[in-house]
Amino acid sequence: MMKPILSAMALAAVAACTAPNPAATTTSHTSTPPTHLQQQWKLIQFQTFQPKELTQSILDLRQLPRAYATVGCNGMNFQAATNAPNLWQVQGVAMTRMHCPDVAKLEMAFAKQIQAATHYRLENNRLILQDDKGSTMVFEATN
């Protein structure tokens, strides 16, 4: 009686070890990020800010879907989803919190707008992020 029970337990253990892991075999619903976006971008036009105020504003998409941005003081990390052509979505924003009064207004506007953007387009080596209201952020490739 003991041998059949041990045999059944051994068989169950082997089956458990060789069964596929459901989490490892599920297919992802995120697509490969477009390579033309995977570079570093410099903000050149945004709201009423002057070009000299934007000189240190960078959007780094080289490791999409992970993204990084700064306007010269705090850093912002987030996930940028581009799952469908020309669609843009930002999630999981984390930002450092240093006090930088000289760029605080730009920093807050940048953080708000990068999350509000819903579409992107590329024109003449420029990345344009746009929200549903038509507000844009214009970036130029740094390479």
Task: Look at residue 76 and tell me if it is in a domain.
Answer: yes
Q: For 20-64, how does the pLDDT look when each residue is reduced to its tens digit (9 = 90+)? A: 443 433 333 445 566 789 999 999 999 999 999 999 999 999 999
Do residues 118 and 135 lie in contact, with contact meaning Cβ atoms separated by under 8 Å?
Answer: no
Task: Look at residue 28 and tell me if it is in a domain.
Answer: no
Quote the pLDDT of residue 32.
59
Q: Is the pLDDT of residue 8 over 60?
A: no
Task: Look at residue 90 and tell me if it is in a domain.
Answer: yes
* Domain coverage including residue 103: 35-141
Task: Look at residue 20 and tell me if it is in a domain.
Answer: no
Q: For 61-74, how does the pLDDT look when each residue is reduced to its tens digit (9 = 90+)? A: 999 999 999 999 99
Into how many domains does the chain fold?
A: 1
Task: Read off the CATH number of the domain in which 61 is found.
Answer: 2.40.128.270
Task: Look at residue 15 and tell me if it is in a domain.
Answer: no
Task: Look at residue 6 and tell me if it is in a domain.
Answer: no
Give every CB contact of residue 84 below 8 A, 6+ residues apart in sequence. Answer: 31
Task: Look at residue 17 and tell me if it is in a domain.
Answer: no
- Strands 126-130, 119-123: pairing is antiparallel
DSSP 8-class letter at 87: B
Q: Is the pLDDT of residue 127 over 70?
A: yes
Q: Is the pLDDT of residue 101 over 60?
A: yes
Task: Look at residue 117 and tell me if it is in a domain.
Answer: yes
**Tokens 């940028």 belong to which residue?**
80
What's the predicted TM-score (pTM) here? 0.76
Residue 72 CA to residue 3 CA, distance in Å, equals: 71
Residue 107 CA to residue 83 CA, distance in Å, equals: 27
Q: What one-letter code names the amino acid at 4?
A: P
Quote the pLDDT of residue 59.
98
